[in-house]
Structure 1
Amino acid sequence: MDRFSSLLLAAACGLPLAASAGADDTMTSDRPDVVESSQVVGKGRLQLETSLQWERDRTDGATVRTLTMPTLLRIGLGETMELRFETDGRTIEHAGGATMAGYADTSVGIKWHTADQDGATPSLGWLLHADLPGGSKAFRDVAADRGGTQAVFDTGVTWLVTNDIQLDAAVSRGLNRRTPDLGIGLGLSVRR
């Protein structure tokens, strides 16, 4: 689906360290959209965010359909920092009568929540991750194969079943040739 392949590394000296995981203890997931929340899961918390994602890409008369299972595991290291493991998981691709199946690469990262929203001042977090080429050979570094800028319009809905369970659905539309034409996803996020 979406690769967040830009590395954010910044000198953050002087930023406030008093930010918290959320005063009301309602789960905040990084699903189902392109942009992650600045919030972290909180010290000692585990949060699993997973989905079933279908994409269709028509380029130069060829149609490729891909089914993936994007998954993000978030582990609270402190009230302002979390460890993250993310993958597109099991991947099945149908193209031109042929089918390839395997596993996508995994990325490892950290998120640091540095400031809560205060009036008109937005909440702020930093995300740093590295993509590790550990997936099936056919699916390694798929994002780099597309090259250049990807442009997408997406929309989604979420339903907070309880403070620790969220269901979601999303639809995306590619806006250029480097982005899949259509994507549909259904997701589940759980926290303990």
Structure 2
Amino acid sequence: MFASMPRLSLPSACVLVALLPFSARAAECPASSSEIATDRPDVTNSSLVVPFGSLQSENGINSTGQSAGKGFDGTNSRLRFGVAQCLEVLVDIPSYVGRLSGPLATGFTNVSPAIKWQVSALPETTSLSVVVGAGLPTGTRAITGPGPQPYLQFPWSHELGGGWGISGMFTSFFRPADFTNHQSTEATFVIEKRLNERMSVFAEYVSDVPSRGAPIALLNVGGGYLLSRTQQIDFHVAFGLNRNSPDYIIGVGYSYRWDNLWKASTR
């Protein structure tokens, strides 16, 4: 099912994302008074952008076990800048992948910049974003693979009421320099429950289907806790659902948002 998703050309997607924000209704996008909304700890990214004039730093570390051995990766840092109403620029900072046991490859991941636009003309309980980005060939080839790796992504969410919500994400990864696997599609689905004003938990299904080779399937569970309106700590535990998947992934993280930076710099 996931492999049959339509493929958009990256230039066309970039033009579309560049033009659409001018039609957005800014009042429906997050403001500096909104609670922090992060792209972690689940695989599914937030369907909301960061507020205009805000800088958000999201960080974490994972420990992974699989048949080949055990490893870790961190700090899994993502910086998100609110550059306009309903529009952010984000960049994934290279993480180090280390070996704890077994013959696993070690090294750094790619620098991955992207642009994210939140569709604002939707019902209040529903949100959708469009993300266009690329992994630049700056990391260790044994970890990242060859060449630049553009991607097109659609995170969405819907509030059900009573603290319940569902969300998901569709992502197409393109690897022009990889002749054995040019493209892969990732699909996720999340059920989330807000337990109180500060704590929420989730259960997530993740499917990664390459154009060639065996798919990866994960069950990911975890939660987040708000230390304040702009700070969050989180945790997650994932389990592989087939032989091609990691046996387990355990991770923790911390995120923080600085607001009204543009106004401060003007003063």
TM-score, with structure 1 as normaliser: 0.80
Distance 2:214 2:31 in 1: 36
- Shift of residue 141, structure 1, vs aligned partner: 2.6
Distance 1:153 1:100 in 2: 24
> Does structure 1 conserve the Cα–Cα contact (< 8 Å) formed by 2:71 and 2:104?
no
Residue 141 of structure 1 corresponds to which residue in structure 2? 145
| Superimposed CA distance per residue, residues 124-146 of structure 1 (whole angstroms, 9 cap, x where no aligned partner) | 11111111120123322399888
Residue 103 of structure 1 corresponds to which residue in structure 2? 108
Distance 1:178 1:71 in 2: 26
Structure 2 CA distance for partners of 1:66 and 1:117, relative to 1, 3 Å: farther
> Does structure 1 conserve the Cα–Cα contact (< 8 Å) formed by 2:31 and 2:52?
no
Counterpart amino acid of 1:44?
G
More helix by share: 2
- Shift of residue 77, structure 1, vs aligned partner: 0.9
- Based on CA coordinates, which of the two structures has the bigger radius of gyration? 2
Distance 1:125 1:107 in 2: 18
| Superimposed CA distance per residue, residues 33-55 of structure 1 (whole angstroms, 9 cap, x where no aligned partner) | 01111111111211010101111
| Superimposed CA distance per residue, residues 36-82 of structure 1 (whole angstroms, 9 cap, x where no aligned partner) | 11111111211010101111111xxxx32121111111111112111
> Does structure 2 conserve the Cα–Cα contact (< 8 Å) formed by 1:22 and 1:39?
no
Residue 21 of structure 1 corresponds to which residue in structure 2? 30
Match of 2:251 among 170, 185, 189: 185
Counterpart amino acid of 2:42?
D
Residue 165 of structure 1 corresponds to which residue in structure 2? 231
Residue 129 of structure 2 corresponds to which residue in structure 1? 125
| Superimposed CA distance per residue, residues 2-48 of structure 1 (whole angstroms, 9 cap, x where no aligned partner) | xxxx9883857878501412474211111100111111111121101
Structure 2 CA distance for partners of 1:163 and 1:119, relative to 1, 3 Å: closer
Structure 2 CA distance for partners of 1:101 and 1:119, relative to 1, 3 Å: closer
Does 2:70 match 1:65? yes
TM-score, with structure 2 as normaliser: 0.59
Stretches of structure 1 lacking an aligned partner (at least 5 in a row): 1-5
Distance 2:34 2:66 in 1: 39
Residue 43 of structure 1 corresponds to which residue in structure 2? 52
How many aligned positions are there? 181
Distance 2:87 2:215 in 1: 30
Counterpart amino acid of 2:24?
L
Q: Identity of counterpart residues, as a percentage?
A: 28
Stretches of structure 2 lacking an aligned partner (at least 5 in a row): 1-6, 147-172, 176-180, 182-209, 259-267
> Does structure 2 conserve the Cα–Cα contact (< 8 Å) formed by 1:45 and 1:191?
yes
Counterpart amino acid of 1:17?
A
SS where residue 77 of structure 1 aligns?
A: strand
Match of 1:55 among 64, 67, 75: 64
Counterpart amino acid of 2:92?
E
| Superimposed CA distance per residue, residues 78-121 of structure 1 (whole angstroms, 9 cap, x where no aligned partner) | 1211111114601102453x56542111211111011276255x
Distance 2:52 2:33 in 1: 15
Distance 1:124 1:99 in 2: 37
Distance 2:145 2:82 in 1: 28
